[in-house]
Amino acid sequence: MEVPPFIDDDNVLHLLGKRVEPGKSKRINFNTAKLHTHTSVEIPVIVERSKKKGPVVLITAGIHGDEINGIEIVRRVVAEGINKPEKGTVICIPVLNIFGFINGSREFPDGRDLNRVFPGTKHGALASRFAYHFTQEILPIADVCLDFHTGGASRFNAPQIRIDRRHKKNTLLSKIFSAPFTVISPNIKKSYRITCDQLNIPILLYEGGKSLDSNNEVTQVALEGIKRVLSHYEMLRIDIPVLPSETETILIESTFWMRAKYSGLLHLKIPVGKQIHKGEILAHITDPYGNFKHRVKATSNGYVINVNQAPTVYQGDAIFHISKEKNE
């Protein structure tokens, strides 16, 4: 891919046809498509630049329109001035999939998952065209990417960073971010994350919470992690406090899903993030009539990194995502 000179010799940033000089702020609208009503859909790109030269950090959320918690994290970054760097440039895009956000939907209007069509094509379907323009016009300027997600549907993720550790900088940054868990997760074909990898751009993918929900604890963990990363690059202003991590991130290299053996009402007995032991009761599954009660017991030791919080389940539904210990 031929990368245009986004920052010129005078340290002026050229982005989406706009100039952003050192020490300036600008909100630029990224406009690549229209609704069927012919109404333009504008995606705000919030740029904050220091007068001092430094890295470019790209912070994104809402690649799935129903992942509200990720959007709230980036909103807080902007609202609290965390994005105003001591040096370099911070670019925030709180809502990448504005179509899905409007509709409370994961997908683009064409029914496609934006995170499965990267790097996109110039003349493809709507989601693919958007991915193409983003990959061509915004992504190449980034030195580091931080992308924020939630669990799908009713599945609540414990705060975690996901990395493919073949990119050594990802491993280093995950330790600096220091989420409660770091999950080794291979890159998925045609995802945003693998596109960053192909461009040799370090990326941390943060997962926390669930769709169509906002959780303050999940948000706070993310904000502290972002501040730690910016502090590492000497980009965080000295007037913004940054808390050291209380514990070292727990590395998870392998996981499995526990699935419901019966259909019925699901009654959870443990919180997400808990360390569990084989034989421990994790939930009950009952019928609506008071005649049936099944105890869901842990089949091994591990950490619960995702819990299905749906009130009802069908046989075979995933209910707990659990880490595997090395000897299992």
CATH at 136? 3.40.630.10
Domain of 280, CATH number, reads 2.40.50.100
| 96 and 178 together in one domain | yes
| 188 and 306 together in one domain | no
Q: Give CA 90 to chain center in angstroms.
A: 17
Domain boundary among 168, 198, 232: 232
* Cross-strand partners of 255: 323
| 72 and 106 together in one domain | yes
Q: How far apart are CA 255 and CA 48, in angstroms?
A: 39
Poorest-confidence range of 192-196, 203-207, 295-299, 324-328? 324-328
| 119 and 227 together in one domain | yes
Instruction: Dig out the tokens for 281 from the structure.
Output: 């009761």
Instruction: Dig out the tokens for 42 from the structure.
Output: 């504008």
What range does the domain containing 223 cover?
A: 13-232
Whether 6 is covered by a domain: the verdict is no
| 72 and 110 together in one domain | yes
Query: Does the pLDDT at position 13 exceed 60?
Result: yes
Whether 238 is covered by a domain: the verdict is no
Q: How far apart are CA 29 and CA 98, in angstroms?
A: 12
pLDDT score, position 2: 45
Determine contact, residues 317/283, Cβ cutoff 8 Å.
no
Whether 84 is covered by a domain: the verdict is yes
| 22 and 94 together in one domain | yes
Whether 211 is covered by a domain: the verdict is yes
Whether 215 is covered by a domain: the verdict is yes
pLDDT score, position 171: 95
Query: Does the pLDDT at position 221 exceed 60?
Result: yes
Decide the pairing of beta strands 25-34 and 144-151.
Answer: unpaired
Whether 328 is covered by a domain: the verdict is no
| 274 and 188 together in one domain | no
| 164 and 283 together in one domain | no
Whether 7 is covered by a domain: the verdict is no
pLDDT score, position 1: 42
pLDDT score, position 40: 82
Model pLDDT for residues 242-289, shown as the tens digit of each residue: 998 888 999 999 999 999 999 999 999 999 999 999 999 999 999 999
pLDDT score, position 38: 82
Q: For the chain, what is the domain count?
A: 2
Determine contact, residues 205/162, Cβ cutoff 8 Å.
yes
| 85 and 216 together in one domain | yes
Rounded to the nearest 10 degrees, the angle between the axes of helix 216-232 and helix 168-177 is 120
pLDDT score, position 5: 59
Which residue reads 């009539």 in tokens?
A: 289
* Segment 64-76 mean pLDDT: 98
Measured between alpha carbons, how far apart are the two ends of the chain, in Å?
Answer: 43
Q: Please give the angle made by the CA atoms of 203, 146 and 46, to the nearest 5 degrees.
A: 135
Query: Does the pLDDT at position 4 exceed 80?
Result: no
pTM exceeding the 0.85 threshold for the entire prediction = yes
Question: Taking Cα atoms as reference points, which of 141, 142, 144, 161 lies closest to residue 232?
Answer: 144
| 207 and 274 together in one domain | no
Calculate the average pLDDT of the chain: 95
pLDDT band per the 50, 70, 90 thresholds, residue 3: very low
Query: Does the pLDDT at position 60 exceed 90?
Result: yes
